[in-house]
Amino acid sequence: MNRIFAAFILIAFATGAGRELSGTTGVMTAMSQAVIDASRAAVELALGLVGVMAFFLGLMKIAEQGGLLTATARLIAPLMRRLFPEVPPQHPAMGAMIMNFSANLLGLGNAATPFGIRAMQELDRLNPHPGVATDAMVRLLAINTSGLALLPTGVIALRAAAGSIEPAAILPTTLFATTCATLVAIFLTPLLARFYPAPRPTPPVVTYSSEAHVCEETPPLAPLPRWVGWTVALAFVALIAASVRHGQIVSAWIVPTLVVGFIVYGLARGVAVYESFVDGAKEGFQVALRIIPYLVAILAATALLRASGALPFFVSLLAPITGPLGLPAEVLPMAILRPLSGSGAFALLADLLKDPNVGPDSYAGWLASTIQGSTETTFYVLAVYFGAVGIKKMRHAIAAGLAADLAGVIAAVFICSWLYPGAA
């Protein structure tokens, strides 16, 4: 990350200085203003997350004390053991990661981030090298940066506002692209880990008995009966199907139902829900403060690239190459900006869909919507998740995240070109 951050700054300065010295006035002024605006936006973004993180971390505390995280870990224990063999099956990190994945699948970005931060904090408890990302941390982050969404509600709403005939018709293309990106993230992370020094294996979780004065290994929790897993899986599939068919109605019910479900579960398990909620919510403000420096660094460097003209220049070089491959010039800037700035990419998508020469139902509109809905802002996720636990050495996290982004873009181009060949 040190080299990437320095490269962003140096490339931006060299490009801006070259343009300014060649006669394009105002470039350095624009870069100065961009750094100030980006730094301010980073702090505002972090503070804006305080309330959301406090709320959902409070709910997570109730779930943790009520045993819900352990129960959810048991629910899909075989799958999670294969994805995260370094994490003990009964560890709270398993349940937190499942919550994070579920929220992402349903398009609940506001809930997914606090759940992901909680999962990262639990994984950090198993970290034998504080400040260095473990294999499990990198894999969690790569899966998050791959998109992992079945319901891109924000993109669908934007398409509807732009006058699309079928706003939700991007669901199959988005599902295909995000599935490809997620599979690449899962299979590529262990391969990339070989080129980076890995931490020592996680020691087994032990419990200490004061009476016997011995330590014994905690036995892993047995998975729940298969019928329980199938019942939950079918309920989840039914929820997704209902969301696709009645998206606006179902999506409005998801968060309130989730909140009530956590509270009712806590009460049924005898948890002091108010005290637990407050204890968990206290972490929200502390996490927001910890991630501010990381956000400032990432957003400022990205803003410099854009203001200097380096990013548009890079786009102009690639456009003649990507156009014949199915990635038109009007979509390319958004595809490149997506891993760097989520808000910037969203703004470009909005402008593209409102452009009368493009529109939401053209090939470019379909492709841009699919890319936005099936990829994630890699550097933002890196800053928030790793910043929450003070990770400075990210190992292969950036390479895995960018590879997943690239796979998502390639898959989006392939599926959109195949389903809508007449528009390409």
| pLDDT one-digit tens code per residue, 149-166 | 666 766 877 787 788 887
Residue 138 has pLDDT above 90, yes or no: yes
pLDDT confidence bin for 75, thresholds 50/70/90: low
Give the mean model confidence (pLDDT) for residues 178-204: 79
* CB burial readout 370-409, b (16+ within 10 A) else e: bbbbbbbbbbbbbbbbbbbbebeebbbbbbbbbbbbebbb
Residue 47 has pLDDT above 60, yes or no: yes
Residue 253 has pLDDT above 60, yes or no: yes
Instruction: Please give the DSSP secondary-structure letter assigned to residue 208.
Output: E
Coil vs helix vs strand at 214 = strand
At 19, the amino acid letter reads R
* CB burial readout 10-30, b (16+ within 10 A) else e: ebbeebbeebbeeeeeebbeb
CA torsion sign, 363 to 359 to 176 to 182? Answer: positive
d(CA 91, CA 126): 9
Round the average pLDDT of the chain to a whole number and report it.
Answer: 78
315 near 322, Cβ under 8 Å?
Answer: no
Which token pair is 212? 């016997």
What per-residue confidence (pLDDT) applies to 221? 43
Q: What is the pLDDT of residues 15-30, one digit of tens each?
A: 999 988 888 888 899 9
What per-residue confidence (pLDDT) applies to 205? 47
Helix axes 2-21, 27-65, angle to 10 degrees: 160
What per-residue confidence (pLDDT) applies to 373? 80
Residue 309 has pLDDT above 80, yes or no: yes
What per-residue confidence (pLDDT) applies to 32? 92
